[in-house]
């Protein structure tokens, strides 16, 4: 009997932390408000780049030809794959498999880290061809992409925190709100990158 009590004492208590419907609604609403404010900031950055692009097509074309889109295309695929891994992690939590959720969240974190590292490689290539913050193109390019990169770094750190909670068995079929909230943020980061990739690299 004492052994059973000891084992239960080490087992994670997921039921005590099950969020109420009000907590779920409030948390999601707060995240959506935050994301709406971020949309405004990114919209300003993108608009500034579009205006520059329209007025200086030759400058943008020269950078595109020098740098190419292979590296950034690979990076885009990596980031989109990380979102898929997150969806799989949420699915495992909903199936009451917290350890499975932790593994998939780990994949999301790894892919997000790779994205940041490849963006660093890209920035080095841009510096090699003379694109810096001192140039007009550089100012319009680095503002949205670096701001987005900062969001990815925050997401990676957040993902590590959620993954650690999952490894401790904190999530289950009735308690996966933290993964959902993190998912809203991460999917937003992905969607923003798709827009940036299209506007800055493809058009």
CA atoms within 13 A on the CB side of 112: 28
What number of other Cβ atoms are within 10 A of residue 83's Cβ?
20
| Structural domains of the chain in order of their starting residue, each with its CATH number | 21-202 (1.20.120.80)
Give the pLDDT score at 23: 78
Give the pLDDT score at 15: 45
What number of other Cβ atoms are within 10 A of residue 165's Cβ?
19
Q: What is the DSSP string of 118-181?
A: HHHHHHHHHHHTT--TTSHHHHHHHHHHHHHHHHHHHHHHHHHHHHHHHHTT--BTTB-HHHHH
Give the pLDDT score at 57: 87
Residue 99 CB partners (closer than 8 Å, separation 6+):
166, 167, 169
Give the pLDDT score at 16: 43
Give the pLDDT score at 91: 96
The tens-digit pLDDT sequence of the chain (203 residues) is: 333 333 333 344 444 478 777 777 788 899 999 999 999 999 999 999 999 999 988 888 888 888 888 999 999 999 999 999 999 999 999 999 999 999 999 999 999 999 999 999 999 999 888 888 888 889 899 999 999 999 999 999 999 999 999 999 889 888 899 999 999 999 999 999 999 999 999 88
Give the pLDDT score at 3: 39
Give the pLDDT score at 160: 97
Return the CA Rg of the chain.
Answer: 21
Give the pLDDT score at 69: 87
């Amino acid at each position: 009997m004492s052994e059973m009590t000891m084992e239960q004492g080490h087992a994670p208590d997921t039921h005590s932390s099950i969020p109420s419907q009000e907590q779920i609604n409030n948390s999601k609403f707060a995240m959506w408000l935050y994301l709406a404010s971020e949309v405004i900031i990114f919209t300003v950055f993108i608009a500034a780049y579009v205006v520059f692009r329209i007025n200086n097509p030759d400058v943008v074309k020269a950078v595109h030809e020098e740098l190419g889109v292979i590296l950034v295309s690979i990076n885009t695929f990596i980031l989109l794959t990380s979102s898929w891994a997150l969806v799989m992690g949420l699915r495992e939590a909903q199936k009451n498999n917290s350890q499975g959720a932790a593994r998939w969240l780990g994949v999301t974190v790894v892919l997000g880290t790779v994205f940041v590292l490849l963006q660093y490689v890209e920035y080095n290539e841009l510096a090699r061809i003379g694109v810096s913050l001192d140039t007009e193109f550089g100012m319009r390019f680095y503002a949205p992409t670096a701001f987005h990169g900062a969001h990815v770094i925050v997401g990676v750190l957040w993902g590590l925190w959620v993954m650690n909670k999952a490894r401790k068995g904190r999530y289950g079929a009735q308690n996966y709100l933290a993964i959902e909230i993190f998912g809203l943020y991460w999917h937003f980061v992905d969607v923003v990158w798709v827009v940036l990739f299209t506007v800055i690299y493809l058009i």
